[in-house]
Structure 1
Amino acid sequence: MIRRLIQIAACSIVVPAFFWGGCQWIVLSMATGVVAYPSDNIAHAPVVIVLGASVLANGQPSDILADRLTVAANLYTAGLADKVLVSGDNGQDGYDEVNAMRRYLLAAGVAAEDLFLDHAGFDTYDSMYRARHVFGVTDAIVVTQQYHLSRALYLADAVGMHAQGVSSDLQPYAKQAWFSARESLARVKAVVNVLFGAEPTYFGEPIDLAGDGRTTWDEGISSP
């Protein structure tokens, strides 16, 4: 009886550990597609996708998000992307990532009509799935920090999108150890989502990136 309990206990540890390790390997294998910014190895793409991150209480982007936006704006102004798609959380009262991103990018010189907002990018899977199936993206540059890029590229590939990953590590980040630890669990979630064909929290009608990005803003096309 004791021997049987030991075997069960061992399996309950070993099997999850193998699954966790397999998920890390699967996702991290996508790191070969990552390019550090700045680089001469970034090819033109129709759109650059900026993945959301935390916004401060005053409505300003956190350092980690501001760096993503800075790199995306630089890629756009350099002619390496024709459109910018920002994807983040705008599903809570008093918390709005995408409009903070919009204001930052407009101030950085991105043309209003080229700036598209995805208000339902609640996690990276939702962002990539909706970029492909709502916004019709098949070829993109994805901008985020190095620790996050492998997962973003894995999910982009899983939903049928060709993506280049450009890292936006422009400075050290105070919570980097926490981000990295949390990321290991997020990789497991990403693999599970792909294996089970998860759908995003919200889907929505198709949006054509050939149109005017202001139609995706909260306030509509007449907004400044």
Structure 2
Amino acid sequence: MIEGVELNTVHFIKRFFLAAAAALLLWFIIHTIVIVMDGLNDELMPVDVAVVLGNKVETTGRPSNRLQARLDKSAELYREGYFTYIVVSGGIGKEGFDEAKVMKDYLIEKGITEDKIIEDNNGYNSYMTAQNTSHIMNEQQLDSVMIITQYFHISRTKSAFSKMGIEEIYSAHADIFEFRDLYSIIREFPAYYKYLLK
């Protein structure tokens, strides 16, 4: 009789963990689809300022393909009159370059005047970028923002900006798709909830 109870208990525990794993997998799939759709669905509205999130700078001192795509999108939308200012946000990467300075120099090369570009040299992650942008917006009396980054990164970044009390948040994704996006999309699942709990 005791052996039968023990077998039933083991069977119940196995079924419980299988059901939990299946539920987690389903949630991951749904969450990922929502993140990708949100990121690819640009919200283009006239705003006060755009924020371009930093990324790798090559050892040559030039923006990586990902970073260049973000900057090109910001330059394109700036010329179309969607915003007046651009915040370039990044830190000093392992290559030793100040991402924000590299980003600013690149935009100046693209014909955007220096007085329209605001450097955030302490944007080491999305949350810090949101904090720093919030301070900049308060100082400059700016109310609305457009986030420019990779499509899979947009939902988490909008969540971080929302936590800073910024209400008018729009977004546009960089026009670049790479095989490594698969890894980045998977990584967004735990990263999103980490930011949500901050």
TM-score range, shorter chain: 0.7 to 0.9
Deviation at 1:112, TM superposition (A): 0.3
Choose between structure 1 and 2: higher helix proportion: 2
Partner of 1:130: 132
In the alignment, does 2:90 pair up with 1:88?
yes
Partner of 1:97: 99
Name structure 2 gaps, 5 residues minimum: 1-5
Mark the structure with the bigger radius of gyration. Answer: 2
- Give the aligned length: 186
The 3 A distance-change label for structure 1 pair 175 and 138 is same
Tell me, in whole angstroms, the C-alpha distance in 1 between the residues paired with 2:79 and 2:160: 27
Deviation at 1:188, TM superposition (A): 2.2
CA-to-aligned-CA distance 1:34-73 (integer Å, 9 cap, x gap): 644xxxx622111011011111111111111101100101
CA-to-aligned-CA distance 1:56-92 (integer Å, 9 cap, x gap): 1111111111011001011112221100001111276
**For the aligned residues, what is the CA RMSD?**
3.4
Deviation at 1:175, TM superposition (A): 1.6
Partner of 2:61: 59
* Contact preservation (8 Å) 1:54, 1:65: yes
Structure 2 matches for 1:34-73, cutoff 5 A? 35-36=41-42, 42-73=44-75
Partner of 2:170: 164
- Which stretch shows the higher mean deviation, 86-95 or 110-119? 86-95
Partner of 2:3: none
* Contact preservation (8 Å) 2:154, 2:171: yes
Name structure 1 gaps, 5 residues minimum: 194-224
Q: TM (normalized to structure 2)?
A: 0.77
* Contact preservation (8 Å) 2:39, 2:153: no
Q: Letter of the aligned partner of 1:61 in structure 2? A: P
Tell me, in whole angstroms, the C-alpha distance in 1 between the residues paired with 2:179 and 2:37: 23
* Contact preservation (8 Å) 1:67, 1:168: yes
Deviation at 1:155, TM superposition (A): 1.6
Partner of 2:194: 189
Tell me, in whole angstroms, the C-alpha distance in 2 between the residues paired with 1:31 and 1:139: 22
Tell me, in whole angstroms, the C-alpha distance in 1 between the residues paired with 2:126 and 2:185: 15
Q: Letter of the aligned partner of 2:148 in structure 1? A: V
Q: TM (normalized to structure 1)?
A: 0.69
In the alignment, does 2:121 pair up with 1:116?
no
* Contact preservation (8 Å) 2:146, 2:172: yes
Deviation at 1:30, TM superposition (A): 10
Tell me, in whole angstroms, the C-alpha distance in 2 between the residues paired with 1:99 and 1:182: 27
Moved over 4 A (4+): 1-4, 28-34
The one of 141, 144, 150 aligned to 2:149: 144
3-state SS of the aligned residue for 1:130? helix
Q: Letter of the aligned partner of 1:167 in structure 2? A: H
